[in-house]
Amino acid sequence: MFSRAYRAAITVPPLIWVAAFLLVPYLLMFCYSFWSVSESGIIIHTWSLNNYHELLTKPVYWQTLLRSMWIAARVTFFSMLLGYPLAYFLSLHAGSRKDLYYQLVIIPLWVSYLVRAYAWKTILGTDGVMNTLLQYVHLTSHPLDFLLYSPFAVVLTLTHIYTPFTFLPIYASLEHIPRNLVEASHDLGATPQQTFWRVIFPLSIPGVLAGATFAFVLSLGDFLAPLLLGGPSGIMISNIVVSLFGAAYNWPLGAAISLCMLVLVLALIFFSERLEKKWSFS
């Protein structure tokens, strides 16, 4: 029903824009990662694998990457621990208050990321709310200095930010479970535990995977929370990239790390989508 001219009109402009501002930049990142930079700071356009060689041989890079993955894994785990039971409660136990509670989970998303990270900084700092509170009630006599500028602060803040994001897809997948399946399981004599583990949980796996991927990928690439709250021991891989693009001025090496991150992230998304398809029922 749609003419060729109509289809061209809706296809060509977005295609050109996306090619120019997404495809070309990603390709440029790929190219940069094989180039190098001279001592006077000029980009040398000769192709080599030197940047990748440096990434593999200098332990600081892969150690930081591993530490970032470990932080991201903890964030994912704690977001799940908070998000899953919450979604389960809302979907199956909250009754008529469901919609209200749902809104309550969403509202914190409207406080910007930066502001929430900043709020945690004011809570966790040496003169922050937490330390002065603990001293006020005489639980401690000195400020606890592990609260701020530590991986703990980064994990806590990122968990705070990504819990609603893990909650949402889990909640959506729980809401999609036909209620008569749950009733049938009860009627056939299954205990609540059996119903949960054999009926409800397997059917919510696509939501769990979507939420986990989201929390992991976005916290893996984060650089603002570590800069604000992480201190030297909370440095993540993106912080290295930021410094390579800034003061350290080695764009090609920074591009190589970014590209590794991109590939890692795309692989994760790919596998998670495969698994989601496998576990989704229709």
Partner 1 sequence: MSTSSSSSSIKTSRWLAFHALLVFAFLYLPIAILILYSFNGQGVGGFPPRNLTLSWYRILFSDAPIWDSVLNSLLVAAAAMLIALLFGIPAALAVDRANFPGKALFRRLVLLPLILPGIITGLSLLMLFRVAEVKLSLLTIILGHGTALISVATTKVFAGLQKLNRAQEEASLDLGATYWQTFWRITVPNLKLSIIGAALLIFTLSMDEIAVSFFLIGRDNTLPLEIWGRLRRGITPEINAISTIIFMFSLLTIVVWYRLRTRAEVTPEIGAELVETAGRS
3-state secondary structure the chain: CCCHHHHHHHHHHHHHHHHHHHHHHHHHHHHHCCCEECCCCCEECCCCCHHHHHHHHCHHHHHHHHHHHHHHHHHHHHHHHHHHHHHHHHHHCCHHHHHHHHHHHHHHHHCCHHHHHHHHHHHHCCCCHHHHHHHHCCCCCCCCCCCCCCHHHHHHHHHHHHHHHHHHHHHHHHHHCCHHHHHHHHHCCCCHHHHHHHHHHHHHHHHHHHHHHHHHHHHHCCCHHHHHHHCHHHCCHHHHHHHHHCCCCCHHHHHHHHHHHHHHHHHHHHHHHHHHHHHCCC
- Residue 211 touching partner 1 (CB under 8 A): yes
Q: Is 53 in the site for partner 1 (CB under 8 A)?
A: no
Residue number, 7 or 58, with CB nearest to partner 1: 7
Residue from 111, 181, 184, 267 in contact with partner 1 (CB under 8 A)? 111
Interface map 57-86 toward partner 1 (x if CB under 8 A)? -------------------------xx-xx
By the rule CB under 8 A, 89 interacts with partner 1: yes
What's the min distance (Å) between Cβ of 54 and partner 1?
18
Minimum CB separation of residue 30 from partner 1 in Å reads 9
Residue 57 or 194 having the CB closest to partner 1? 194
Candidates 49, 60, 66, 106: give the one binding partner 1 (CB under 8 A).
Answer: 106
Tokens of residue 142, six digits: 């000195």
The reply on whether position 35 binds partner 1 by CB under 8 A is: no
Residue 21 carries which side chain, given as an amino acid letter?
A: F
- The string over 22-54, giving b where at least 16 C-beta atoms fall within 10 Å of a residue's C-beta and e elsewhere, is eeeeeeebeebbbbbbeeeeeeeeeeeeebbee
Q: Judged by CB under 8 A, does residue 177 bind partner 1?
A: no
Radius of gyration of the chain from Cα atoms? 24
User: Taking CB under 8 A as the rule, does residue 6 contact partner 1?
Assistant: yes
Q: Which of residues 138-157 bind partner 1 (CB under 8 A)?
A: none
Q: Which is nearer to partner 1, 33 or 150 (CB)?
A: 33
Residue 245 binds partner 1 (CB under 8 A)? yes
Q: Which is nearer to partner 1, 86 or 150 (CB)?
A: 86
Regarding 258 and contact with partner 1 (CB under 8 A), the answer is yes
Part of the chain binding partner 1 (CB under 8 A), chosen from 46-54, 55-63, 223-231, 274-282: 223-231
Among 40, 59, 115, 232, binds partner 1 (CB under 8 A): 115
264 binds partner 1 (CB under 8 A): no
Q: Is 100 in the site for partner 1 (CB under 8 A)?
A: no
Q: Is 178 near partner 1 (CB under 8 A)?
A: no
Q: Name which of 57 and 103 has its Cβ closer to partner 1.
A: 103
Rounded least distance, CB 257 to partner 1, Å: 10
Interaction of residue 123 with partner 1, rule CB under 8 A: yes
Environment class of 111 (CB within 10 Å of its CB; exposed 0-12, middle 13-18, buried 19+): exposed
